[in-house]
Amino acid sequence: MENLFISYRRDDSSAYAGRICDHIASIVGAHRVFMDVEDIQPGQNFAQAIEQTLTGCSHVLVVIGPRWHDILETRAKQQDEDYVVHEIATALTKKKNVVPVFVGGARAAALTALPTMLADLPFHQAIELHDSSFSDDCNRLAQKLQLKSRVSKKPLVVLAAVAALLAILAFVAANLGLGPWRASHERKLQITQLLKTASTQLSESEYPSAFQSYQQTLAVDPTNQTALDGQVDSAMLWLQNFHVPTPEGQKSEDIAAPWLAQMKTVLEAGLARSNGKDKRAADIVAHMGWLHWMNEKIAFKEFGNAQRYFVQALAIDSSNVYAHAFFGNWLLQTNGDSAQAIKHFESALATKTHRDFVRTMQLGGLYENDAPGMRAEFVRALNEVRVNNEPLDPNLRARVSYLYSPTVSDANELRETLTAVPPDDAWKTFVWLNPVRPDDKEPPVLRDFIQASLAEISGDRAKALVEFKALDQMLIAKHFNGRMADYTKDAIGRLGGNHETDHQLR
């Protein structure tokens, strides 16, 4: 008699139990494998149902996942009915061949401190099934149990007809969720729906939600490759623009830290599944570096670990776009080697991939950096974005007005802004960043000031003098004071040959 019963906890190892069931059923037939006690009638005693089911089985597999023992202890403390304990105790009492099967990283320590009725379980020879060699391990288990496929000796034509009929019935039963296929069918439907939801969330840039949907999928099927890869992808996409809403009264670090910890675990597992030497590995390592920087900057959990990951990623893939972009931004935010940061962005842009992401890292880092020369580099990058008709974050567009403001910027800073690119490009980029709005009621004095300044910078002193004089009259009429008025008067004096001042832009 080769009937086999699989004992498992739904909250611990249902996915593994389902895969074991499918594998063993393919050898001895689904009618000989029992996963759940089916068809218990209202009022029927559960212990009696277990008794009847196990009586017809010669082998009992006790599937033990990482939470198996914790659940056992919890139910014992709460004095809840533990049907799994009843199943195993009955099998031990009936002297069945009981085999502990460790899955999901569970170890023999799970078989310590057991209730009295399970005292013999640790003395039964156990087997471990690994995610990376699950099928081979199941075959080894089948061989250990001496399970053999039973082939009928009926004529081949009859056998083929019966096999075809059984296949049709099995297909119908599996798709309708009948009999022993019910649990497997429900599990597959659940996985399909979760993966579909995660894919939709990714396409809509809802990366935290996608991350959670893949996590839910893996709770049902821990070895699902699509979910494993998808969770790594969603973690990396989330990290590229990581931010967390902070409700009033809470601290951002308290919200960010748990998410970063989860993503760290996912990325480390993803790296372990790679060969450690390809582009995928470099992508993951680069994002791990950014995760460590977010952990330092937002969660305040660690310091100084980001750089080594960027270096490691580039050692794996010297042209990795993520490593170059993250490294360049990190250098600018930490006041590192700005020249090196610029080279990293040049290398990232040269890949001609993920350009929007690279620009976000580049422009965001330049905005945060006040080192000499970085203002000009910022304008050059913005000019390239305009020339290439690339998208510009509206929030960043609203914040770059300081580059051209005589109120915020001094004469040297304004000159750096206006000489970063040729005058024609400088004017077009200024207009692109500061468009005239139909509802503007004030005269465009800033536009006139920039235009006159560019005329002087380009060497057309006569034109510049005329434009500065016209601007001066407008400022006087409107009673405008401040730096712009000072710069304008100084320019008139300078261009008229009367005197030089410290406010020169030329």
Share of the chain above pLDDT 90, in %: 47
pLDDT, residue 11, reads: 81
Give the pLDDT confidence of 110-122 residue by residue, as tens digits. Answer: 888 888 888 889 8
* pLDDT bracket for residue 201 (50, 70, 90): very high
pLDDT, residue 179, reads: 52
* pLDDT bracket for residue 348 (50, 70, 90): very high
Q: Is 440 helix (H, G, I), strand (E, B) or coil?
A: coil
Q: Is 210 helix (H, G, I), strand (E, B) or coil?
A: helix
Q: Which helix (H) or strand (E) holds 325?
A: helix 321-333
- Nearest by Cα to 322 from 333, 312, 332, 336: 312
- 100-105: average pLDDT: 89
pLDDT, residue 506, reads: 44
Extract the tokens encoding 237. 């996409």
Give the pLDDT confidence of 149-185 residue by residue, as tens digits. Answer: 654 444 555 556 656 666 665 565 555 555 555 667 7
**Inter-residue long-range contacts of 461-469, CB under 8 Å, 24+ positions, other chains counted:** 461/495, 464/491, 464/495, 465/491, 465/492, 465/495, 465/496, 468/492, 468/495
Q: Is the pLDDT of residue 95 over 70?
A: yes
Helices (H), 125-278: 134-144, 156-176, 182-203, 207-220, 225-240, 252-273
Contact assessment for residue 21 and residue 35, using Cβ atoms and an 8 Å cutoff:
yes
pLDDT, residue 206, reads: 92
Of 243-247, 307-311, 496-500, where does the model show the most confidence?
Answer: 307-311
Residues in CB range of 8: below 8 A, 6 or more apart: 14, 16, 17, 35, 62, 63, 65, 84
Q: Is the pLDDT of residue 319 over 60?
A: yes
Q: Token match 């770059």: residue?
A: 400
* pLDDT bracket for residue 45 (50, 70, 90): low
d(CA 127, CA 409): 72
Domain residue limits, the chain:
4-150, 152-241
pLDDT, residue 500, reads: 45
- Which fold, 4-150? Rossmann fold (3.40.50)
Give the pLDDT confidence of 375-427 residue by residue, as tens digits. Answer: 999 999 999 999 999 999 999 998 998 899 998 888 899 999 999 999 999 99
Give the pLDDT confidence of 131-157 residue by residue, as tens digits. Answer: 878 888 888 888 888 887 654 444 555
d(CA 210, CA 203): 9
Q: Is 95 exposed, middle or buried (0-12, 13-18, 19+ CB in 10 A)?
A: exposed
- 122-136: average pLDDT: 85
* pLDDT bracket for residue 18 (50, 70, 90): confident
Q: Is the pLDDT of residue 127 over 70?
A: yes
Give the pLDDT confidence of 242-278 residue by residue, as tens digits. Answer: 987 777 778 888 888 889 999 999 999 999 998 888 9
* pLDDT bracket for residue 232 (50, 70, 90): very high
Extract the tokens encoding 247. 């409700």
Mean residue pLDDT across the chain: 86
pLDDT, residue 152, reads: 45
Residue 404's φ and ψ, nearest 5 degrees, are -110, 10
d(CA 51, CA 94): 9
461 vs 32, higher pLDDT: 461
160 vs 238, higher pLDDT: 238
Contact assessment for residue 91 and residue 5, using Cβ atoms and an 8 Å cutoff:
yes
Q: Is the pLDDT of residue 312 over 60?
A: yes
